[in-house]
Structure formats: structure tokens, C-alpha cells
Structure 1
């Protein structure tokens, strides 16, 4: 039996948290599946660093490490296993690294969506730029739409604080959800929305396989 590689372990970690992807990835072109999985795992690593845990210090240190790593990807160097899949793509990695302070700052919740989106803009726009290159998106997603998806990822990790209003799961579900961009983006956004619906209803967030299949199929159609 082949021993799992470091990359296998990172991807398995993300798959364990998003079992819906096992059925959803059938609607991703075969040539993009490994890259899509690595992209989602990268998003998961950054989101966990930004928003998980009660103490922000470990996450801030991780984001600092990732800033160095992504800057290295822009120069052709890599240390993290995900770089074996993603770094070779000539995406704007340095811009993504430069946007990480905005991601870190978004840990503090604000009550209105416009302010939250504006605060995330440097990271969201850079992330959109990377994603459009990774998947050759014919209609790149605007940064504001990406920011709303990122806020959805945050809502899954952070209990609402203060007066969350528009940036809570309930508030985000009232906002338009993008239907453009690459197929991996659309499928991920649709599954995320389905999780937020379950969170808002007080149910376990993992989407049942049959519903994940239907959700992914609809998102893949655009």
C-alpha cells in the first residue's frame, strides 16, 4: 500500500470537513478536479487561520507564514504541499499575499454588510484574480461577490458577536449569491449557501449526499 503523501494528508483534512465534495466534484471537469480540491484546501487553511479559535494570535502567526509562502510562490519557490499543485500556475500569488492583512482584520465582526465587504476587498479581489486564472473563468467573479462568500465561510466558523445583522448566516442568505465564475466556484458557493441554510435552521451543517448532488448539479449548469 502506498504511504500517503503530505499533499494527500492536507487534501484529506479538507475532504473530511466537506464530505459533500465527494459527490459534488463529479460535476467539475476531470482536468480541474485536483486543482479545485487544492484551491478549496487553501481557502480552508486561510479561513481557519483568520477565523477559528478564541485566541487570534495563532491564526495571525499562520497568516504571516502564509504571506511569506504565497510571496514565494510568485518567485517559483514553495514549502507547503499545496504548492505542488497550485504554485506552477502563473496566478497573482503576490497580490493574494498582500491581501492577507485584510483577511486577518475581518476577524472582528461588523453589523452592516457594506462595511464588511469593503474591509475584505483587498483579499477578496486578489482571491478572485487567482481563481479566475486557476480555472480560466470566462466571467470572473467580482470581488464583492467573493467577499460575501468569504463572509459565509466566516459565519460557519464564528458564533455571531455583538449585533451581526447582515453578516450573520440569516443576513447573508438574504443577499444575492453569484452564479457566474468557474464551475468549481459556483459549486462551492452553492454548497456553502446550503450549509448556511442548515446553520440558520439549527441543523447539522453537513448537507446530505442527495441534496449535495442536486445542489452541485444546479450550480454546474450555471
Structure 2
């Protein structure tokens, strides 16, 4: 009897590959995630990227606004067993508070506005981060992810996506010409919380983002050995 590999969902793979393209370090870091959680972790990371890209990407906010409105409907549908997006094939069946995540999308979109200072930036992403904490408590075993570590990784993502547009006004006045993004990265690094009180995937995402900031570029992937060491330190706490 011939054996066939399971059919792949090309549409789903395209979204997973988009996230892996931005975070190639995951090919190394995922070895620290239990095999049973890897598919969920990858799909969940991809969903967060879809939402934050829509909220903060591009110079024109209107396409992102339309995408986020669609996502609000989609996530509400997941609570009723209805899904249209390919990522739902991995996530919708899981008993996570998708409706709460949908309700956090408007505050995420409002975070496109430049914050006044670091505290304002943290407050702006808090509603979305709180929803992320609730979802991760349902998706992963282990300690509940703390709010501060999610806020840190979300703000790293904002800097990665939007560049200088993510920098608070208070730093624009202090940083030298061409240096605001680097100054904001340094400030995020200074405030970065300990990641030990978090799910295993979140600890890894936090460790990789933090190490990128240490190297001075939030968007530049780490070399494999540096990624492995950052991941190892992340899971050890």
C-alpha cells in the first residue's frame, strides 16, 4: 500500500512563510518549543504579524483600516465556529478568547499615532497586549505570560514595521539627526522586562527581539549561533 504525505494548505503556508521570512531565527529557536505546540506557536505568531502589519504598515492608513475591520469580523466568527482566513485552520478550533482579541483591534489601530513618550507608547499597546496574554493563557501550557513582556515585544514589532514613525515625540527632540529609531530601540532595551514569567514561545520571541535590539537593528535577523544562544538564554530565564 502506498503512503502519501499529508496534503499541505498552500494558502496557510504562505502566511506562515511570511512570518518565518521576517524571523528566520525561528528555524533554530523552535527546537526549544514542545513539538506539540510548534504549529500553534507559528500560526499564532503569524496572526499577530497580520494584525500589527495592518495597523502600522504603509504610509496610508486606509488599507490597513479595511484589513483590521475584516479581521474583527473574522475573529468574532471564530467564536461561533466560522472561519474564512487560512490561519483559522490552525487556530479557530482552539478554545482561546478570539472575541477579546477582536475587541482589542481598535486600540491597536489607534496606536498608529506617534506616542508622546515611552509611558504613552506602553499604554497605547496595553489593551492589545492584555488580549494577547489572554489568548496565550489558553494556547500554551506553563506560566501565564506577563503583560510587560508582551508590551515590549509588541513595541519592538512597531519599531520593526514603522521605523522612525514609531519613535515617541520625546525622543525625537533628544536624538541626533537620523538616530531617533536607534535611540528608541535603546530605550526599549533599557526597559525590557525579564521574560521568565511567560509561555515558552513568548520567552523565545522576547529573547530574539531583545537580542536584535542589542545588535542595534530591530529588523536584522540574528546569525544562527547568536539566535541559538539567545533562545537558550530565553528559555532558561
Pairing 1:175-214 to 2, within 5 Å after superposition: 175-179=191-195, 180-198=197-215, 200=216, 205-214=220-229
Q: Distance in 2 between matches of 1:93 and 1:7?
A: 19
Q: Are 2:104 and 1:99 aligned?
A: yes
Asked whether the 8 Å contact 1:109–1:164 carries over to 2, the reply is no
Alpha-carbon offset, residue 160 of structure 1: 2.0
**1:165 equivalenced with 2:171 (yes/no):** yes
Q: Deviations over 1:6-45 (max 9, x none)?
A: 1112111211121110111011111101001001111111
Structure 1: distance between partners of 2:130 and 2:8? 38
Measure the CA separation in 2 of the matches of 1:6 and 1:107. Answer: 28
State the shift of 1:4 in Å. 5.3
Partner of 1:64: 69
DSSP-derived class of the 1:159 partner: helix
How far did residue 159 of structure 1 move? Answer: 2.2
Q: Which contiguous aligned blocks of 4+ residues in structure 1 show a shift greater than 4 angstroms?
A: 1-4
Cα distance in 2 for partners of 1:159, 1:203 equals 9
Counting matched residue pairs gives 219
Aligned-pair CA distance for 1:192: 1.0
When residues 147 and 7 of structure 1 are mapped into structure 2, their CA distance, relative to the original with a 3 A threshold, is same
**Does the 8 A contact of 1:42 with 1:82 survive in 2?**
yes
Residue number in structure 2 paired with 1:52: 57
> Which of the residues 19, 23, 31 maps onto 1:18?
23
When structure 1 is superposed on structure 2, of 1-10 and 121-130 the one drifting more is 1-10
In structure 1, distance between residues paired with 2:55 and 2:131: 16
Match of 1:9 among 1, 11, 14: 14
TM-score (norm 2): 0.86
Stretches of structure 2 lacking an aligned partner (at least 5 in a row): 173-182
Report the Cα distance in structure 2 between the residues aligned to 1:204 and 1:101, rounded to whole angstroms.
25
Cα distance between partner residues in 2 of 1:62 and 1:145: 26
Q: Whose radius of gyration is greater, 1 or 2?
A: 2
Whether 2:84 is the aligned partner of 1:90: answer no
CA distance in 2, matches of 1:174, 1:147: 14
Distance 2:227 2:61 in 1: 32
User: How far off is 1:3 after superposition?
Assistant: 6.3
- Considering only aligned residues, what root-mean-square deviation do their CA atoms show, in Å? 2.1
User: What SS does structure 1 have at the residue aligned with 2:164?
Assistant: coil
1:203 is displaced (CA, Å) by 8.8
Unaligned runs of 5+ in 1: none
